Amino acid sequence: MPDAPIKIGIRDELRVLLKLYPVFRRYTRDRARVKKNEEHAWDPKIETNGQKAVNTFIDLGPTYIKLGQVISARPDLLPNEYIKAFEQLQDSVPPAPFPEVKPVIENNLGKISEVFDSFNEEAISGASLGQVYLAKYRGEDVVVKVNRPNIQERVKKDIAVISRLLNLARRRLDTYLYVSLDNVIADFSGRIFDEADYLKESSNIMRIGENIRKRQEKVIVPEVYEELSSSQVLVMRYHPGIKITDIKTLKSRGIDLKNLAWRLDLLFMRMLLRDKIFHADPHPGNISVTDDGSIILYDYGMVGSLDDKTRFQLLKLYDGLSNSDPDVIMDSLISMNALSPVANRAIMRRTMELAIANLQGKPVEEREVQEIFSIANDVIFEFPFRLPRELVLYMRMSSLLEGTCKLLDPDFRFIAILRQILYQEGMLNDLYRFQISEFVRKSISSIEKGLDVLPLLKRSLEEQSGNSNFRNSIKIPASIFLGFLTLASVYISTTNRYLGFSFLGVTVVLFLLVLFKKD
């Protein structure tokens, strides 16, 4: 965002304050009620309040709709009942009149009549940040995605109002809640402008499309017409399809819904755990299916990415969950900064054990993501959980994906399919290699730190070099170091067998020299 201050009218603040204040009061009361609710029973009154909050966000307009979508992935902030309500918040807003949108198109591309063969002025969809039209370009059907008029200015003003009101409410919020909300707003401020920048969305489309094409998946990613795209206008090839929610039509086309759910889950898990970027908004409006069963993905404005460490810790967490190991789960959460390392480990371990026991009423394969999130949400207010930025979009993606897959297959079981994916894709082998490489890296770091003290020990070593006991004892650290080299050779062999075995051979020779070296 620019550094220049945004002018906020008192009317803007009052309008938002009058609408948000009742929502804020109900929310703080409901949050306190959840803390006291030891049985964690579903509360219809809280559910009603959550729906009222959603209605208010819709009434306040595009910025608040996007904000609602973001906080729907925050179980550390919202009770279950609110999350259920906010997950229904679709990014659908009546389109602006075409005469207001036309200047945006022509300022970026030139006269519509000179650029396109034909152009339908009736928008086929309207979202919070933009709207979409059908057109023909060089004989091809295309879609033209256009920023809403003055959307950047409106978003800047809305965020300024939200930040100011949050600051005014600071005294009425506990420190954790204030800091969490402040972080949400700061993160949201950056993300929403990225979503409104269609050059960035164009880059997202091409990156995700390239990854999918390499795997030859039965998935369609729209082609971008780069010569017609700018930060405010995005032109793509038009790919019509059957809505993923149109179960009747999908069945009439002979499409296997169970297989479709499997392929959809596999698609997103590969993006999440294999690629550097993943589509983070798989709600039903962004997914269609062709007559031959190919999946079409739309809208690449909201994307996420996990660094290697976070992705492998996520794999480790799933592995721990499948094996009912609360310690592995906790270690993964701490490594991902999703759980404070100062948390009472004994209490947290017991909580994890109870959560696992609660899930063991079914076979392991039937542990569903929604249930896991629900349990986490029940205890989230009592224990020091945190949600780092990179995990927020992952949680949103996972929740939406599971809901869409269950729509296709009511018997869909996320964990069962995930475990199959992990084994079939060889991802657990990747995890084990990562763990070994991390051990090697830390060991090398420790050795480097140890080398720093060698000059200080030089004199002492020289003084004791005549001592036979000392000469024998020095074999011990040498043997330890060679043991480390052995472990390193094992790791290297997982990626380069011949180099690894060569390294191992050298290590064996060195070990024998140390073992049988004469005094």
Bridge partners for 219 per DSSP:
295
The catalytic residue among 265, 281, 319, 378 is 281
Edge-first strand listing for the sheet containing 295-297: 219-220, 295-297, 287-289, 242-243
281 as an active site residue: the answer is yes
Please report, to the nearest 10 degrees, the dihedral formed by the alpha carbons of residues 417, 422, 425, 428 taken in order. -170
The greatest distance separating any two alpha carbons of the chain, rounded to the nearest whole angstrom, comes to: 94
CA dist 315 and 338 (Å) reads 14
Q: What is the DSSP string of 52-117?
A: HHHHHHHHH-HHHHHHHHHHTT-TTTS-HHHHHHHHT-----PPPPHHHHHHHHHHHH--HHHH-S
Around Cβ 144, how many Cβ atoms within 10 Å? 29
Tokens representing 187?
A: 């993160």
Convert 445-513 into a string of H (helix), E (strand) and C (coil).
HHHHHHHCCHHHHHHHHHHHCCCHHHHHHCHHHHHHHHHHHHHHHHHHHHHCHHHHHHHHHHHHHHHHH
Cα dihedral 46, 50, 55, 60 sign: positive
Give the pairing of strands 287-289 and 295-297.
antiparallel
| Rounded (5°) CA angle 147-149-154 | 100
Q: How many CB atoms lie within 10 A of CB 312?
A: 24
Q: Tell me the one-letter amino acid at 374.
A: S
| Tokens found for residue 261 | 């759910």
Beta pairing class for 140-147 and 219-220: unpaired
Question: Looking at 245-333, which runs of residues are DSSP E strands?
Answer: 278-279, 287-289, 295-297, 303-304
Cβ within 8 Å of residue 66, ≥6 positions away: 91, 128, 129, 188, 192, 195
Catalytic residues: 281
